[in-house]
Structure 1
Amino acid sequence: MKRYAMILLLVAGQLLSAGAGHGEEPAVRTASGEFAILGGYGITHRGFGATRTQVETVDAILRYGHFLSGELGTGRWFQGRHELLVEVPLHLTLDPRVRTMTGGYLLGSWKFTSLEGLAPYVFAGGGILYNDLGLDTQGTRLNFSYQGGTGLQWFVRPDTALGIEYRYHHVSNAGTAEPNEPLNSSKFLLGVSVYR
């Protein structure tokens, strides 16, 4: 584990030493798309809604973002761009047992573009999730997810950003089978994005 942490720190150090400077504008203002990989940790909130089971996950998400607009709005807090995000997640559960969840998400995002070297964003959406958790409290393996959250990207190069993200994540079968315990959780993610 220490070895992987060291490799991650070295890669981050190389990106940081390159710097976002050189007077170039971050690509978030003009790019047509974004490719990203995110990784992190999630945990359910027992007692939130009908969630009773603790589920912990290690998460990996591949993301493609396509900008639907140029810069819109004026002013520091309103200027931004609409982005459509397509994600392929892999949620590896660690507790209560090692299993997987995977599927696809479609999310809408507003990315703020007026802050120098930073791009905060908000997003919401959902998708389909195949759930192989083996829980007696879930009546089917085919589930649905809705989610929403916020993030912040820091440009270390004009076309490359490091990011941190929080998302609320809901999984249930939408009443298609019984029982139907929802999994309401928080996910904390780190990522790298490349704009084209």
Structure 2
Amino acid sequence: MTKNTILIPLALIAFLAPLPVRAETAVTTAQSECALLTGYGITHRYFGATRTQVQTWDAIARYGRFLSQEVGRGSWYQGRHELLVEVPYHMAVDHDARSMVGGYLLGSWKFTGLDGISPYVFAGGGILYVDLGLPTMGTKLDFSYQGGTGVQYFVRKDTALMAEYRYHHISNAGTAAPNEPLNSSKFLVGISFFH
């Protein structure tokens, strides 16, 4: 690893990440947010009925709409409800760059009580068109459920860098045989803009 390989990412982080902005200036007043996430996913072989290893590069466009004003002010759970709509693209890097695309609907709780950062949890599901060429999946129209957690670090009043982990399940929900599920972990980073 060269010196430049280390210095360039550190300089980029220092440029983009000044002192934290008070989280309440963005998260507590915004009506919506738009985010772009990218990252890596890998299946857990032998977790449940998963037998096939699939590694993915993931790109997700997200739109979030806040459903409530701030709840629980002054308590540990202070935050807001948010509905997330995602359009994911998952490219299987170890299966000839075959891909999956679809849509997810997720519910989220965004914690607002910390300065400059906003942790969140989410869960939900959706549908995927799966073109991995795996005969063990039974059909190309599949379903997904998922849940995870993340954190947003505010670099401006309305802009946050984000890091996220999610457990991700795909299967055909018994609509065809065979029905090998893909149980994965996904590690994502991104940027979010609040409106």
With the length of structure 1 as denominator, give the TM-score of the two structures. 0.91
* Cα distance between partner residues in 2 of 1:73 and 1:38: 29
Q: Secondary structure at the match of 2:17?
A: helix
Q: Secondary structure at the match of 1:137?
A: helix
Q: CA deviation at 1:14?
A: 3.6
The answer (yes or no) to whether the contact 1:147–1:170 under 8 Å persists in 2 is yes
Equivalent residues in 2 for 1:151-166 (5 A)? 151-166=150-165
Unpaired stretches in structure 2, ≥5 consecutive residues: 1-5
- Runs of 4+ residues deviating >2 angstroms: 5-15, 23-26
Map of 2:172 onto structure 1: 173
The answer (yes or no) to whether the contact 1:68–1:81 under 8 Å persists in 2 is yes
Q: CA deviation at 1:73?
A: 1.0
Map of 1:15 onto structure 2: 16
The answer (yes or no) to whether the contact 1:85–1:106 under 8 Å persists in 2 is yes
Equivalent residues in 2 for 1:7-156 (5 A)? 12-17=13-18, 19-21=19-21, 25-156=24-155
* Cα distance between partner residues in 2 of 1:37 and 1:112: 20
Q: CA deviation at 1:136?
A: 1.4
Distance 1:138 1:6, change over 3 A: farther
Aligned length: 193
Identity %: 67
Counterpart amino acid of 1:96?
Answer: H
* Cα distance between partner residues in 1 of 2:72 and 2:89: 35
Q: Secondary structure at the match of 2:132?
A: coil
1:137-163 superposed Cα distances (whole Å, 9 cap, x missing partner): 011000000000000111111100001
The answer (yes or no) to whether the contact 1:124–1:147 under 8 Å persists in 2 is yes
* Cα distance between partner residues in 2 of 1:78 and 1:24: 14
* Cα distance between partner residues in 1 of 2:55 and 2:26: 35
The answer (yes or no) to whether the contact 2:43–2:185 under 8 Å persists in 1 is yes
The answer (yes or no) to whether the contact 1:67–1:84 under 8 Å persists in 2 is yes
1:138-189 superposed Cα distances (whole Å, 9 cap, x missing partner): 1100000000000011111110000100000000000011111000000000
Q: CA deviation at 1:6?
A: 9.3
Q: Secondary structure at the match of 1:169?
A: strand
Counterpart amino acid of 1:104?
Answer: G
Counterpart amino acid of 1:64?
Answer: Y
Q: CA RMSD in A?
A: 2.2
Counterpart amino acid of 2:42?
Answer: I
Q: CA deviation at 1:74?
A: 3.2
Map of 2:3 onto structure 1: none
Counterpart amino acid of 2:17?
Answer: L
* Cα distance between partner residues in 1 of 2:119 and 2:95: 34
* Cα distance between partner residues in 2 of 1:161 and 1:128: 28
With the length of structure 2 as denominator, give the TM-score of the two structures. 0.91
Q: CA deviation at 1:40?
A: 0.2
* Cα distance between partner residues in 2 of 1:114 and 1:24: 7
1:108-138 superposed Cα distances (whole Å, 9 cap, x missing partner): 0000000111100000000000000000101
* Cα distance between partner residues in 2 of 1:160 and 1:38: 14
